[in-house]
Structures are given as C-alpha cells and as structure tokens.
Amino acid sequence: MDAARRTAADWFRSLRDQITQAFEALEDRGPGTAAPGRFEVTPTQRGEDGGGGIMSVMRGGRVFEKVGVNWSEVHGKLAPRAQAAMAARGVPGMADDPRFWASGISLVAHMQNPHAPAVHMNTRMFWTPGAWWFGGGADLNPCIEYPEDTQHFHAVLRDACTPHGGDYYDRFKAWADEYFFIPHRGRARGVGGIFFDDLNTGDWDADFAFTQAVGAAFLPAFLPLAETRMTQPWSDADKDQQLIHRGLYAEYNLVYDRGTKFGLETGHNADAVLMSLPPLAKWV
C-alpha cells in the first residue's frame, strides 16, 4: 500500500500542475488589458511532522476573480472528534488505531464574469490501518444558469463515469444532488455534477483508474464554458445576482461541507482549507 499511496499522491500533484497551467493559459486569452492573473504558490504544513501540501491561489485575474487549486499529502492521528466521525461512517479499525494518511487535489473557482459559472472539483485517497478508499467529484455553480452549459458539464462527467461502472453516473449524480443541497435554504447550491466517497470495491487499480478519469474530465467539462462566457457583457444587476449566489456557496461550505470540517479538525492549514470561500459575497 505504500507504493499505491505514492502513486496516488504523485498523480494528484500532476493533475494540480496541469490545471494551474491551463488556467493561466486561459488568463492569457482573457478580456481586458490588465496583466493576466498568475497563481501565488505557498507550501503548507500540517504540524511538525504531519505532511503538508501546496496552496495555489489566483486573485483578481482577467477571467478568475479568485481560484484555488490545492494539493496535499498529510498523515498523523485523527483527533477524537474526527475519529468518532469516521467510526460513525463505518470505517474499520477506527476505535483501535486512529492513524491516517490522505492525499488529494481540491479546486474552487469564482469567476469575474457573472455569466461564467463557479466550479468545484476534488479527488482524493484516504488510508487507515483498517481500510482505504477514494472520493471526489465535481459540481457546477452558476449564478445565471444556461441549460446548454449544464448539459455539457454533465455529459462530460457521464462519459468519464460510464466505462468504469454502468451505474456510476446515475448513482454519483444522485449523491451530488443530495450532498450539495442546502437544507436551511431548501435548495441546491448549483446545478450538480457527481460526488462519491468511501469508494472501495476491493480493486485498488480499478478504483484509482475511475478517480483519475473524474479528475481528467474536469478541464474538458469546465474550460469550454469559461471560455465562452468570459467575454459576455454583463450588468450591475448580473453582478449583484452573482454576489448573492456566492452567499449560498459560503453558507454551504462553512456549515455542511465534509472536507472543510475534516481539514479544520485534523489541523491542516486553515487558509488552505478555507480557500474555497468567495472573495466577495452578499446577503439580502
């Protein structure tokens, strides 16, 4: 399993590199005469000996108002609260041995143009002495929805899922619809995508191949939408609508998101964990 963990962590990092390069290339083609945005790259550390990662954040670009693409590889012992949460999910061995290892990539993009959708993507591997599993997914969060954009995003994800499991897309789409729902608002935070967690079929190679397919599908699913919408004219009313919708995103991530809770409870860099929050938001 040591070799498998190394393979997974290295692949997540390579995906991070690919996405940041693609986003900076999109910035070069973006509208306006201001200098294109570039990522600020900061190493992160979890305690003295718990691993860390890379936090990459771009702010105030031509296309991206704020985007974070983070990679991490962390290890240690789960705090009692996180250990109890894992045990409640049925993770084997949690009561006896709280050691863990985790690696993954996490991405959230908030766009300058209100017509361009915000987006989230995450893929990860988690290991404990009693189990290992993969998780992740991607979901689209437009403040002004275009049905053709939603259709394209879902079609690319469906094509990524189908070779790995005939029911994967339907199962994981339904899971995303449930997971990204905001109970106190009675609505979804966006137009969905796919979400999966605790994936362990007993075949590590197959599960990792599926996780790679999900990560590799992100750029084909999202970049055409960003490129189409980044030059579309917008009004003050459109921007106001975007800021209000970002409030929903912030509420969800601070109250319900499992990854946010886990990152904070396990002592990871708080700025890296909370990079998903929008730069500006509005409540009415």
Q: How many CA atoms lie within 13 A of 183 on its CB side?
A: 5
What pLDDT score was predicted for residue 78?
80
Active site residue 75: no
What pLDDT score was predicted for residue 196?
97
Residue 34, CA distances (Å) to 61, 64, 201 in order: 8, 13, 49
* Domain 2-19+51-276 CATH class label: alpha beta
Which residues 6+ apart lie within 8 Å of 120 measured at CB?
107, 108, 109, 138, 139, 141, 276
Residue 281 DSSP SS3 = coil
Residue of 120, 152, 154, 245 marked catalytic: 120
Q: How many angstroms separate the CA atoms of 142 and 150, rounded?
A: 9
What pLDDT score was predicted for residue 93?
63
Statement: the pTM of the whole predicted model exceeds 0.85? yes
Say how many C-beta atoms besides its own lie within 10 A of residue 10's C-beta. Answer: 12
Q: How many angstroms separate the CA atoms of 221 and 139, rounded?
A: 10
First-residue to last-residue Cα distance in the chain: 50
Instruction: List the chain residues with pLDDT less than 70.
Output: 47-49, 92-95, 266-268
